Amino acid sequence: MHLYNKVDKKILEQKIKESAVPRTTVSFYKYHQLEDPQHFRDELYSKLDAVGVLGRIYVANEGINAQISVPTENFESFKHELFSYPWLNGIRLNIAIEENSFSFIKLKILVRKKIVADGLEDSTFDVTDSGVHVQADEFNHLLEDENTVVVDFRNHYESEVGHFKNALTPDVDTFRDSLPVIKEILEDKKDKNLLMYCTGGIRCEKASAWFKHNGFKNVYQLNGGIIEYTRQVKEKGLENKFIGKNFVFDKRLGERITDDIISVCHQCGEPCDTHTNCNNQACHLLFIQCEKCAEKLNGCCCDACKDISLLPLEEQRILRKGIDPGRKVFKKGKGPQLLYKQQ
């Protein structure tokens, strides 16, 4: 069998749209020393493909990081295959807050240098020496402590649409940017309670260990991130201290946590928290766009991109030949054409 998907994206999207099979979206991660990531990757691809798993998985010498969707009827079979690896047996699976069968269209498993790009070359700190994992009720209690500094370890376009009350939300493009920026901001607060959170917990796992290594004495991290927090809040009837949307890295681009809309359309300034990618595939800029602007600009970020998006597909392909918009990570949510981007 092929250990990668070769079917055209448009065909895959249409196949998912036409399918009536309910799917469950789930994420998980684990830091673990892998001797042969490529062998593990190939074996895992075969097992997950056999039970209909779609999604994006990163594998490295340091472990695994996955965001996937599974046919709901095959969920137990998926768990059986995953848990067949002793080091993954019983791993926490973060089930999506809002279900959507269109979160992924194919299975992609990539071998990377790291499961989260952090930019750290310091090998003297122990990534397993992480902060204290706290549940939703403990997190809420620490939030009320005047000796606590709560920090969002996500990117600017994530925290823009939703974050915890009173959280420090650094204006950073990537996780690797956030570590030195936050360290500098908190340099004189090493005796405070450093309470950190992210989407599902993986960024905090490494960040908490790094901040402990750099002299921060009381480091806490939200166990399971925003996803698990929301589940526990609902299950236990706790006060929800998160406001807005939780940004997610799949086709949904967000899960509604509360009805609060804390951001605006980047093109007209009206309240909006719907992320989209520019419909001009040579641009693919991530930004926030309301329905009126989407209709006016054909889902594009500017008039120039709109004009390109209305060209025949063959002409568009010629214009974007050699352009790889997926690598332009620093364009996410920022650009001179976005007049109402919150800085």
Q: Both tokens of residue 201?
A: 């917990």
Length of the chain: 343
Residues 6+ apart with CB under 8 A from 165: 143, 241, 242, 243
Distance CA 217, CA 211 (A): 9
Residues 6+ apart with CB under 8 A from 148: 142, 192, 193, 195
Q: Annotated catalytic, 198? A: yes
Residues 6+ apart with CB under 8 A from 70: 23, 24, 26, 51, 52, 53, 78
Tokens 């209690």 identify what position? 141
Phi, then psi, of 33 in degrees rounded to 5: -75, 115
Q: Both tokens of residue 193?
A: 């309670």
Q: Both tokens of residue 264?
A: 């605006």
Beta strands, E only, the chain? 23-31, 54-60, 63-71, 94-95, 107-111, 132-134, 148-152, 162-164, 193-197, 218-222, 242-246, 255-256, 275-277, 286-288
Phi, then psi, of 70 in degrees rounded to 5: -130, 135
Residues 6+ apart with CB under 8 A from 84: 47
Pick the closest to residue 95 from 59, 71, 68 (CA basis). Answer: 68
Which one is catalytic: 198, 290, 293, 302? 198
Decide: 209 and 126 in contact? Cβ < 8 Å: yes
Provide the β-strand partners of residue 26: 68, 95
Alpha-carbon distances of 261 from 115, 160, 265, 288, rounded to whole Å: 32, 10, 11, 12
> Which residues are annotated as catalytic?
198
